[in-house]
């Protein structure tokens, strides 16, 4: 029997609070420890009201307060203009692949889609059930197609794109110029990772489980003129007008509550400018480790499109080592580093709540692994 590899000393994990690991999962993903502790402290009896958030009426005064604070805090974080509605809906970001055309595209309309990776491709495919989809630009999964090449359809109901491709690690730098067209963005995997000029968008949606909370809630931020035009056949739970206030039926109460704690945590950090500065510093540690490896590691993504949240990387000359890398990293307390099955290699997801020590430890291990004799 082969000997187990000796556990090398470089980059060994310092124990984390509660025996937690550094979790590089793409989603559901890491949450702030302080938020989890707060949720734990409140679990059985929320602020002395005698019941858990999981057990209280969604129309009672306690949950109304939780809900209103979550919305108000998100509005403050993103400086959401007053003429935008905020909805906390269910069925994930994927639900919006259908809800957006059903609410924003009249029957027979054309909708424009930019495809830069797996999620924007999926969104375009689903929209095709409800509208004529025009793929106005298609990337190579490594970069963003040049704006001059986008062939926008005059009169299209909207232009849809994905601000951060979670699987490929391709991220836009700010809102693309869609001219007079209504811009719709899937921001699931970089939501609240940096300030966003909401006024440039008609609609933004984001599943919670990447950056702001547990799975089970998708946030929709929609300009008010886009609410109230759903097609008659739209399911009630996807109709923005019906769901406005998000209390038509039982909302994902617990998930909204935890998102609210995360929003307060981000405000206490200093808001999204501070969050962005921390994220830039963390992503730089990983990209610098790739760059410093003299070609041992490679990023498949063009430098100007590299994501601050999801960092895929490979070992191009010796791909057979990639599974060892993932396994040894896990032995040192750094888990979920395997790349998506469609891309291969490794992927480090370094969302808001990944601590700096996590990426530093990863970089130390990357260097140690790369410098071993071949
Ligand atoms: C995860 C993800 C989705 C899908 O989210 P679900 O909540 O699983 O429906 C959609 N778009 C992007 C960019 C994502 O990262």
Average of per-residue pLDDT across 334-348? 95
Protein residue whose Cα sits closest to atom 2 of ligand 1: 188
Q: Encoding tokens for residue 247?
A: 């209390």
Mutation pick for ligand 1 pocket among 96, 98, 117, 119 (CB with most ligand atoms within 8 Å)? 119
Please identify which of the residues 119, 163, 239, 254 carries the catalytic annotation: 119
Quick one: CA dihedral 94, 99, 101, 107, positive or negative?
positive
What is the residue with the minimal CA distance to atom 5 of ligand 1? 93
Q: Specify whether 186 is catalytic.
A: yes
Rounded distance between C-alpha atoms, residue 102 and residue 57, angstroms: 30
- The tens digit of pLDDT for each residue in 222-252 reads 999 999 999 999 999 999 999 998 789 999 9
HEC string of 261-290 equals HHHHHHHHHCCHHHHHHHHHHHHHHHHHHH
| Residue 222 tokens, joined | 């929609």
> Which atom of ligand 1 lies closest to the CA of 215?
7
**Ligand 1 atom nearest to 165, measured from its CA:** 13
| 197 has catalytic annotation | no
Between CA 54 and CA 330 the distance in angstroms is 33
Q: For 178-216, what is each residue's pLDDT tens digit?
A: 999 999 999 999 999 999 999 999 999 999 999 999 999
Side-chain half-sphere exposure of 63, counting CA atoms within 13 A: 20
| Pairing of the two strands 334-335 and 22-23 | parallel
> Which residue has its alpha carbon closest to ligand 1 atom 12?
188
* Interval 251-275: pLDDT, tens: 999 999 999 999 999 999 999 999 9
Give residue-wise pLDDT tens across range 276-291: 999 999 999 999 999 9
73 belongs to the catalytic site = no
Token pair 């639900």: residue: 95
Share of the chain above pLDDT 70, in %: 96
Q: What are phi and psi of 75, to 5 degrees?
A: -60, -40
Average pLDDT over residues 113-119: 98
Residue 28, preceding bond cis, omega within 30 degrees? yes
Over the stretch 76-111, which tens digit does the pLDDT of each residue have? 999 999 999 999 999 999 999 999 999 999 999 999
Confidence of residue 9 (pLDDT cuts 50, 70, 90): very low
Q: Is the CB of 189 under 6 A from ligand 1?
A: yes
């Amino acid at each position: 029997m082969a000997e187990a590899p000796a556990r090398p000393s470089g980059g060994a994990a310092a124990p984390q609070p509660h025996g937690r690991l550094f979790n590089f999962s793409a989603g559901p993903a890491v949450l702030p420890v302080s938020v989890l502790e707060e949720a734990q402290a409140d679990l059985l009896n929320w602020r002395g009201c005698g019941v858990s958030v999981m057990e209280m009426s969604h129309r009672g005064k306690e949950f109304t307060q939780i809900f209103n604070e979550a919305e108000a805090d998100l509005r403050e974080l993103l400086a959401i203009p007053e003429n935008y509605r905020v909805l906390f809906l269910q069925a994930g970001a994927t639900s919006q692949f259908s809800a957006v055309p059903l609410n924003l595209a009249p029957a027979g309309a054309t909708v424009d889609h930019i495809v830069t990776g797996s999620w924007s491709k999926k969104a375009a495919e689903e929209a095709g059930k409800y509208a004529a989809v025009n793929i106005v630009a298609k990337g190579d999964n490594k970069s963003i197609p040049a704006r001059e090449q986008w062939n926008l359809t005059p009169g299209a109901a909207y232009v849809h794109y994905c601000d951060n491709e979670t699987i490929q690690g391709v991220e836009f730098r700010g809102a693309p110029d869609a001219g007079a067209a209504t811009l719709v963005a899937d921001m699931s995997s970089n939501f609240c990772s940096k300030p966003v000029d909401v006024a440039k968008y008609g609609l933004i949606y984001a599943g919670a489980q990447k950056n702001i909370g547990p799975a089970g809630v998708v946030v929709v931020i929609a300009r008010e003129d886009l609410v109230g035009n759903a097609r008659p056949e739209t399911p009630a739970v996807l109709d923005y007008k019906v769901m406005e206030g998000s209390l038509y039926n039982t909302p994902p109460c617990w998930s909204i509550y935890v998102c609210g704690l995360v929003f307060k945590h981000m405000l206490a950090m200093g808001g999204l400018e501070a969050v962005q500065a921390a994220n830039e510093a963390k992503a730089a540690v990983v990209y610098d480790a790739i760059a410093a490896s003299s070609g041992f590691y490679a990023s498949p993504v063009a430098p100007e499109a590299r994501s601050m949240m999801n960092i895929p990387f490979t070992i191009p000359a010796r791909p057979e080592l990639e599974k060892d890398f993932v396994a040894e990293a896990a032995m040192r307390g750094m888990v979920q580093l395997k790349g998506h099955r469609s891309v291969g290699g490794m992927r480090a997801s370094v969302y808001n709540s990944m601590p700096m020590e996590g990426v530093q430890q990863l970089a130390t291990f990357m260097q140690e692994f790369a410098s071993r004799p071949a």
